[in-house]
Chains A and B, each alone.
Chain A
Amino acid sequence: MTLALTAGAVRPRRNYRRRRIWGEVGALSFAVLLLIWTLTPIYNIIAVALEPHGDVFTNDIFPKNPSLESFWIVITQGYWYLEYFWRQFENSIYIGVATVFFTLAIGSLASFAIGRMRIRYGWLVSNAALLTYVIPASFLAIPFYRIMGFYGLSNNLWSVIAAEVTFATPYAIFIFQQYAVSIPIELDEAARIDGASPAQVYFRIYLPLMAPALVAVGTYALLLAWNEYLYQFLLLSSKKSMTVPVALAQFLNSDEAPWNYMMATAIVYALPPVAIYYAFRGRMTAGLTMGGVKG
């Protein structure tokens, strides 16, 4: 009697355990597929970058004689397509930093006026921003290019900065407004009663309390400027004013594209944003999930 009882109790547990093990095996094999899916193009970048110049046009899956030669060529600018590599890298950084600064400044000022000071017709401004946010940037490229000519900014880094700030600020306003809701407006009021001017409230209360949102949006703006290609390609034409992605795409036009140098350039170019992304990942995800989203 007792034996039958225990046997009956054990079997479902064993079934449950077996099912769990199979579930885990299934999940693990799915994970392997997902890894292959994700890493194939990235593996390709690294593998090609490690191939010496003569080995690119072979049928190897793994580089036969891996070497760091192409990285050395990139760092020392030892190929005619790469003669201004560091200059172009500087341009990318310059554009990125300026974009972050202006996006944060303009976005936070506007969100302060709309959300905290409740300026009349503020809704008009936030709707305009929202509209800009959902319109694809590439659709505005043609008139934008012409207009930069009118402004006398063609082949000037500032034209690119203007474009990136234009497309990053709506997201900034969107996020700042949502985040600011969590900061009690009583703080502003207390400061106002103590005689602080709006500028003081903005600098002493609003900005410090907005720090997490500023970090999230700043990371977003930097990655946007670093990722963007179309406007940089259209607006920058000389080799010295180009950014790295534009130069990278120029490689494609040469007859015998030096794929290993291109991939090494791509890796050097991709490292900063990947590092920044993983450093601020938590903050950024919080920002993205807080409000709207933008690729």
Chain B
Amino acid sequence: MADVQALRPSGPFSHLAVARAPVHRSKWRLGLQGSEFTWAIAFIIPYAALFLAFVAYPVLYGLWLGRDPALYFELMSEPIYQRTVVNTIIYLAIGVNLKMFGALLLSGFFMRRGWWVKGLLLIYVLPWAVPALPSFISIHWMLNGQWGLINNVIWQLFGVDGPGWLETSRALALGSVIWSHIWKWMPFWTVILLAGRMAIPQELYEAADVDGATGLKRFTYVSFPLLANLYLVCTLLSTLFTLGDFNSVFFVSGGGPALSTHVLATLGIRDAFEVARPDLGVAVVMSALPLMIPLVILLMRKLHTTEVTL
């Protein structure tokens, strides 16, 4: 029985193992015995300890901190929190989709042949290679209403004063934050989708060519169906990462003007450390769970059932 147990595929990547494993049996596949079992336990202990000490414990402690329902009623009645929820939804809906769709189109562009396209790709991935903080601080200064580069350019070109991008209106500030997020992360997803496109066999395009599919049809009938799954997994992952994105909001708009552009990730930190209400901060973060849990379940399923050779 134990042998069967050991042979049975397990884990999210088991489909790969099953596809590969030959039928004949040998030592390790029959389960671990004696000292081998001890070795295996010893190998897994560092990660198990790390997980328990720095993931499980904080998660449980966080749940305990945010256990009081009164906290959530307090949040609901707070105008700042309500605005933050709306901001988070706008940030996710516009930021993620624009970024992913742009990445999809750009990955098509970078499939072009020619030396200058390769050179352009090297420059285009720069925002991803440069650490987040320097770029976001630079964008923060660049958008300064009085001395920033953007308004200087507007002044030189048109002779009018540009708006105070981050200081005056919520819409402009939130737009600037979303723009910075797209600027920083679109190259990364472009590279991923580009790799996905490169994996599509050339023969498919040749066959489509023979059948008379060109231009847009090539995309809708060949590329997109083959990329759809990858695109979906990437969008889900990107939604989760964007939900937890602290740096773009914190350094570009800082939640301003007048606390109007906070998202859940930054408001949680603000409540916990600036307002010194850690329980409230945890509650802010926990209120993202209704959105997060379905996403995580969907993503875990996708990663289980489909071969994610991105």
Residues of A within 8 A of B (CB): 27-28, 30-31, 34-35, 37-45, 47-48, 56-61, 105-107, 109-110, 112-120, 122-123, 125-132, 134-147, 151, 162-163, 165-166, 169, 173, 177-178, 181, 185, 188-189, 192-193, 197-199, 202, 223, 226-227, 229-230, 234, 245, 248-249, 252, 259, 262-263, 266-267, 269-270, 273-274, 277-278, 281, 285, 288-295
Contacts and interface: CB of A to CB of B under 8 A. Distances in A.
A109 B152 CA distance: 55
Interface in B255-310: 265, 268-269, 272-273, 278, 281-282, 285, 288, 292, 295-296, 299-300, 303, 308-310
A230 B131 contact: no
Main secondary structure, interface of A, reads helix
A90 to B, nearest CB: 17
Nearest to A249: B133
A134 B130 contact: no
Question: Which of B112, B125, B133 has the most A CB atoms < 10 Å from its CB?
Answer: B133
Contact of A277 (B12, B129, B134, B139): B129
A147 B58 contact: yes
Given A48-B138, A120-B5, A136-B240, A291 B272 contact: no
Interface in B215-256: 234, 237-238, 240-241, 243-247, 251
A142 B296 contact: no
A1 B117 CA distance: 44
Contacts of A293: 188, 192, 234, 237, 310
A61 B61 contact: no
Interface residues of B, number: 109
Contact of A226 (B131, B153, B234, B308): B131
A175 to B, nearest CB: 11
A106 B240 contact: no
Interface in B19-68: 20-21, 26-29, 31-32, 35-36, 39-41, 43-44, 46-48, 50-51, 53-55, 57-59, 61-62, 65
B29 A118 contact: yes
